[in-house]
Amino acid sequence: MSSLTKWLAQKSREQPAIVWSVFIGTLGPVMVFTVRPFRRWLGYEKPEAIPFSYPVPQRSRRSLPSTYDDPVEDINRYTLWDKMRDTIASVAGK
Mean pLDDT value across the chain: 83
Residue among 21, 25, 18 at smallest CA distance from 10: 18
What is the rounded average pLDDT of the residues 37-42?
Answer: 93
Give the C-alpha separation, 73 to 58, whole Å. Answer: 34
Q: How confident is the model at residue 11 (pLDDT cuts 50, 70, 90)?
A: very high
Residue 43 is given by DSSP the state T
Task: Please give the pLDDT value at position 10.
Answer: 94
What is the rounded average pLDDT of the residues 25-48?
Answer: 92
What is the rounded average pLDDT of the residues 90-94?
Answer: 76
Inter-residue contact 19 to 12 (CB < 8 Å) = yes
Collapsing DSSP to helix, strand or coil, 25 comes out as helix
Q: Is-above-0.95 flag for pTM?
A: no
Percentage of the chain with pLDDT > 70? Answer: 83
Inter-residue contact 31 to 24 (CB < 8 Å) = no
